[in-house]
Structure 1
Amino acid sequence: MSNLSAGVDAPEKQCIINDQMGPFTAFYIFIFIFGLPGNLLSVWVFISNPRAKQQQSTSVYLINLLVADLLLLLALPFKILKDLGVAPWNLMVFHCQASAVTIYISLYASVAFLAFIITDRYLQDCNTLRSLRLQEVGFARLLSLVVWLLLLLIMVPNMALPIKQVQEQQYLSCSSLKKDISLHWHTLTIFLCTALFVNASAAVLISSGLALKRLLGSRSDPKLWMNARRATVSVTAVALAYVLSFVPYHVVRMPYTLAQTKVITDCQTKRQLFLGKESTLLLSVLHLCFDPLLFFYLYRPFRETIGKILPCIRKQAVSNPEEQAAQEMMQPTTSAQPEDAV
């Protein structure tokens, strides 16, 4: 059995970097168990609520964010099985070729749509004519389509490009399957997705800064202060979730890519970078558990539907004095604004 079959490469003598996945797998299982019910409930709410068909810009982005979450939920079990070491060889290869790529498609779709939601929340409360144009449903749908097409164009070649045949092994590193052309495209993919993240982060930073500036500038007017405070809290809450979920991962992602492409060859450094990448990826995946709360907070028909199930939530949603006051203030000038906006 010492002779390998033709065309099969022997594993290189190198340190194993993914032999400490037990704690990560436990957290992934936890995220999957707690994220699945909330996202399935979100699907049911969006499908069963007739008002969801009147999609305004906010709901368009929220629905696309939900689609990204569902993709992640579909791909996560394959990662769990591989990391547990119980997946058969063919399933491990399938994860490297398909489900791992799906996880990153979902990740960057979430980055883009969270940035759109934050920007949309600020523009919605700015209440200017230019803002209203940017919040048209057709524009939101077109922007969402562009995001999905762009991500598929960048990511799908990672599924289709040829891979090497390697000897079966307990700890499979997905980069070891890639031929040179596949590894080069993978590196290009990381750079392009990082560029997407930088642009999305710039939109988040600008929207949050403008919301804060508007809040500080309205201190002399109690009515404007209340409206600006509501807008700032809304934007800041989502921006904070964005930062905690995605910034740590991208701090580690580029150095880890250098280890994948053999620019960094020190064994201990590669192990540390891998553990850092997995730890921060875990934070990114954690948004699965919190996105249903985001739907509840930002999408009023969602709250109303849940309120029919849980009367205490219905009472809280209906009797929110700050929200009612803000809506009364905006009513005369926002006939074109989304009816379901917070």
Structure 2
Amino acid sequence: MPPSSNFSSGAGEQEERCIVNDQMGPFSVLYILLFIASFPGNLLSVWAFVCSARTQVALLRVRGLVGRGHGPDACAVVSQQQRSSSVYLLNLLVADLLLLLALPFKVLKDLGVAPWSLMVFHCQASAVSLYISLYASIAFLALIITDRYLQDCHHLHSLRLQEVGFARLLSLVVWLLLLLIMVPNMVLPIRHIQVQRYLSCSSLKTDLGLHWHSLTVFLCTALFANASAAVLLSSGLAFRRLLGGRGDPGLQRSARRAAASLTAVAAAYVLSFVPYHVVRAPYTLAQTKVITDCDTRRQLFLGKESTLLLSALHLCFDPLIFFYLYPPFRAVIRSLVPCVRQHAGSDTEPDEQAAEEMVQQTSAELEATA
């Protein structure tokens, strides 16, 4: 084991020799592969969201609802025809892009090839950004699943939970809450330690920083628990509705579609985030020196890194969620990929119908106010 240390002072000889992050080569290779695999899909997602907005503006112009001297601004019209689901999906895409930006810094730091200043920058900034994006993804996936269930339950529309204004306000609350929890980890003072190849980010933290880090883990775990409860409740109610609608063919069809979409997103949610939170709490005890046995700390660190890599896999799943749940996005992708367009079959008609439905709804509202 290399003779470098995670702590420069105030630690015993056994703790100084306990290096937990000297086996990060395989993880770094997997993160590089994940970045390569997920970057095109997320870049295509950005392009498709932009293109879908332009397509909606073009449709409205054809109908003569924008572009007139007295007509509304195109951006305002597209904003009016958005749905709550599109707001949550767009915020999920922003969280994914934030994670993609943080991954190269993590890879360089874990390989031990980054300059010392860049390693410290990762611990103070990009690592915190990674966790902000992680919990933003958790929150918005839970909101997407809940919103998907509410879309299928027409008797809940009176609650006005699917209004675009409410979705935007809720999204803003999620981001502000995460920033309030996470940003202090960036700005709290750090210790000055000896330059070393295998830097443990917790070794940079002062006692105050470690205490705030523990509080951050507790609050984020609470957020995950609430999001998981919403996912389980929405999925359970969707399956209950599916089982209760066996005698109604129309209801059975719509309930089956809703249950299938909820199952796919909920499966991605469970696979990505549950294992990480099983390991997160005991690993925090090792970070805060409650657990001091070196072998135990090494095992917990490897478990944390393995499950964190599993959590990052949602970067590959999310473009599929965008394609499946957002009809304008799906229409843009099918217009780009010939094989998808040719084999779309009867599924293309609902996509066009959904997009046209949004245009018609906006048209009616604008003509009523003219």
Equivalent residue for 1:56, pick from 83, 86, 94: 83
Matched to 1:122, the amino acid is Y
Instruction: Give 5+ residue unaligned stretches, structure 2.
Output: 1-7, 57-77, 363-370
Counterpart-to-counterpart distance in 2, 1:316 and 1:253 = 44
Equivalent residue for 1:13, pick from 12, 16, 35: 16
Q: Deviations over 1:311-341 (max 9, x none)?
A: 22124445229x849x89xx9xx979xxxxx
1:294 CA drift (Å): 0.8
Partner residue of 1:272? 299
Partner residue of 1:35? 38
1:226 CA drift (Å): 1.1
**Closer, same or farther: CA 267–131 of 1 in aligned 2, 3 Å:** farther
1:180 CA drift (Å): 0.4
What pairs up with 1:184-333 in 2 under 5 angstroms? 184-317=211-344, 319-320=346-347, 324=350
Partner residue of 2:182? 155
Partner residue of 1:3? none
Counterpart-to-counterpart distance in 1, 2:271 and 2:25 = 23
Matched to 2:281, the amino acid is M
Counterpart-to-counterpart distance in 1, 2:206 and 2:20 = 20
Counterpart-to-counterpart distance in 2, 1:215 and 1:183 = 48
Partner residue of 2:5? none
Counterpart-to-counterpart distance in 2, 1:287 and 1:129 = 30
Q: Deviations over 1:205-255 (max 9, x none)?
A: 000000010000011122211111111001111001000000000000000
Does the 8 A contact of 2:185 with 2:213 survive in 1?
Answer: yes
Rg: which structure is higher?
2
Counterpart-to-counterpart distance in 2, 1:255 and 1:14 = 21
Matched to 2:328, the amino acid is P
**Are residues 1:72 and 2:99 paired?**
yes
Matched to 1:269, the amino acid is T
Matched to 1:185, the amino acid is W
Matched to 1:246, the amino acid is F
Q: Deviations over 1:153-212 (max 9, x none)?
A: 000000000000000011000000000001100000000000000000000000000001
Counterpart-to-counterpart distance in 2, 1:252 and 1:317 = 42
Counterpart-to-counterpart distance in 1, 2:101 and 2:340 = 30
Does the 8 A contact of 1:38 with 1:289 survive in 2?
Answer: yes
Does the 8 A contact of 1:9 with 1:167 survive in 2?
Answer: no
Partner residue of 2:131? 104
User: In percent, how many aligned pairs have the same letter?
Assistant: 74
Does the 8 A contact of 1:123 with 1:131 survive in 2?
Answer: no
Matched to 2:176, the amino acid is L
Equivalent residue for 1:86, pick from 110, 113, 116: 113
Does the 8 A contact of 2:37 with 2:316 survive in 1?
Answer: yes
1:127 CA drift (Å): 1.5
Partner residue of 1:122? 149
Count of residues paired in the alignment: 323
Q: Deviations over 1:262-305 (max 9, x none)?
A: 11111111000000000000010011111111111111111111
Instruction: Give 5+ residue unaligned stretches, structure 1.
Output: 1-7, 337-342
Equivalent residue for 1:26, pick from 13, 24, 29: 29
1:129 CA drift (Å): 4.3
Q: Deviations over 1:14-43 (max 9, x none)?
A: 310001111111110011111111111111
Matched to 1:25, the amino acid is S
Matched to 2:241, the amino acid is R
Counterpart-to-counterpart distance in 1, 2:102 and 2:16 = 30
Alpha-carbon RMSD: 2.1
**Closer, same or farther: CA 207–103 of 1 in aligned 2, 3 Å:** same
Q: Deviations over 1:51-98 (max 9, x none)?
A: 364321010000000000000011110000011111010000000000
Counterpart-to-counterpart distance in 2, 1:301 and 1:260 = 45
1:10 CA drift (Å): 7.8
Does the 8 A contact of 2:150 with 2:156 survive in 1?
Answer: no
1:130 CA drift (Å): 3.5
Partner residue of 1:339? none
Equivalent residue for 2:47, pick from 33, 38, 44: 44
Matched to 1:64, the amino acid is N
Matched to 1:222, the amino acid is P
Matched to 1:71, the amino acid is L
Partner residue of 1:141? 168
